[in-house]
Amino acid sequence: MAISFASAFAGHDKTLEFRSARAAVLANNIANADTPNYKARDISFDSFLNSESKKLQLAGTNSRHISGEGFSGEPEGLLYRNANQPSLDGNTVDMQREQAEYAQNSLQFDTSFMFLDRKINGMKKALTGN
């Protein structure tokens, strides 16, 4: 029986990709907290999933299958965040919110990494027989 890494990792590798991308966006928001007219951005998992689904190629083996042409999800994975309190310089970054989101994303990244590490260790044990 062949091992497929896509099914063996159970999506934890894609979750790590999403968490890494979101950490970069949140860090960029924090770095630009004092930049006038900077608009805070964020990535939602749904928009990230939709942008990844654009890469899918639908295969039809029968003439009655639905065509994959024109298949598209949401525009981009990166969205603007609405400000809770508007500032005079037009900046929408709320430092407390950004730091809280970054901390939560970091915990979720660590959790996903732990799950992926356990999957890999389990596969190693299965291959070595320990």
How far CA 69 is from CA of 5, 41, 47, 61, 74, in Å, comes to 28, 30, 20, 15, 15
Give the predicted TM-score (pTM) of the model.
Answer: 0.71
Whether the pLDDT of residue 25 is over 80: the answer is yes
Q: Is residue 62 part of a domain?
A: no
Range of the domain at 34: 12-53+72-128
Residue 6 lies in a domain: no
| Residue 122 included in any domain | yes
pLDDT cut 90: percent of the chain above it: 38
Q: Among residues 77, 78, 108, 83, which one has the least CA distance to residue 97? A: 83
Q: Are 54 and 74 in contact (CB under 8 A)?
A: no
Confidence check: pLDDT of 52 > 80: no
Q: Tell me whether residue 15 is exposed, middle or buried, using C-beta atoms within 10 angstroms of its C-beta: 0 to 12, 13 to 18, 19 or more.
A: buried
Q: Which of 102, 90, 123, 114 is nearest to 24 (CA)?
A: 102
Number of domains within the chain: 1
Structural domain includes residue 1? no
On whether residue 59 sits in a domain, the answer given is no
Least confident residue range of 17-21, 29-33, 126-130? 126-130
pLDDT tier for residue 61 given thresholds of 50, 70 and 90:
confident
